[in-house]
Copies of this chain bind each other. A is one copy, B any other.
């Protein structure tokens, strides 16, 4: 959590970041509790969406699947992040698929509630706009990068994001838990499972990271940051 590349990775939560803790409490008071079992689809792309969720526990995977059936994982969200705010802010359909990879609990917020809250808090709204801009910029930069960077670099960037968000400090490094499968890593970095496998074992023999069962332990964060440029 206190990984030094905190500043490199971009924040995922748009809504909550712009709120003061008082405002947050107000909003939460207008929400309803909800939960999803592991593996459940929270919503799928193009379905109508009137609500967003604030995650309290668990993990949610956001993904897009191309017409050709190629899946791409856009984000792994967790406690403190919000899911589905896009469709709510847009007033349209869901723009991606969301699946609970763990058991998830959170608070559900209805579109009308959020929108009236925003119209009453112009200052907060400007903060939200700034967050959206930041996110848009980092995505645009990623897009520019992606065409340039090679696979290893892309995978390194993905790992930085994951460790930054999910890494648990331990005596000998940072543990990524629960584990992320190599094919999921591939879907995040735009690589095949096989390539991910080879790259990770290469890094393992270089001593950058270690594995315990399916979990990765990052031993040399600096080396990883270096590898991502």
Enumerate chain A interface residues (CB-CB to B < 8 A).
Answer: 64, 66-68, 70, 72, 74, 86, 89-91, 95-96, 115, 118-119, 122-123, 125-126, 128-130, 132-137, 139-149, 189-191, 229
Quick check: A64 and B141 within 8 Å, CB to CB?
yes
What 11 new A-B contacts, CB under 8 Å, besides A64-B141, A66-B144? Answer: A66-B145, A66-B148, A68-B229, A72-B143, A72-B147, A89-B126, A95-B137, A119-B122, A119-B126, A125-B126, A139-B143
Q: Which chain B positions have C-beta within 8 A of A133?
A: 86, 89-90, 95, 132
CB-CB under 8 A for A143 and B146, given A115-B126, A125-B129, A126-B118: yes
Q: Which chain B positions have C-beta within 8 A of A132?
A: 129, 132-133, 136
Quick check: B143 and A91 within 8 Å, CB to CB?
no
Copy number in the complex reads 2
Docked Cα-Cα span, A126 to B74, in Å, equals 25
A121 to B, closest residue via Cβ: B122
Q: Which chain B positions have C-beta within 8 A of A229?
A: 67-68
Quick check: B90 and A130 within 8 Å, CB to CB?
yes
| One of B126, B136, B146 near A135 (C-beta < 8 A) | B136
Docked Cα-Cα span, A70 to B144, in Å, equals 9
A-B contact pairs, 26 of them (CB 8 A): A64-B140, A64-B144, A66-B145, A68-B148, A70-B148, A72-B143, A72-B147, A86-B136, A86-B137, A89-B130, A89-B133, A90-B130, A90-B133, A90-B134, A90-B137, A91-B130, A115-B126, A119-B123, A125-B125, A125-B129, A139-B140, A142-B143, A146-B190, A147-B190, A147-B191, A148-B190
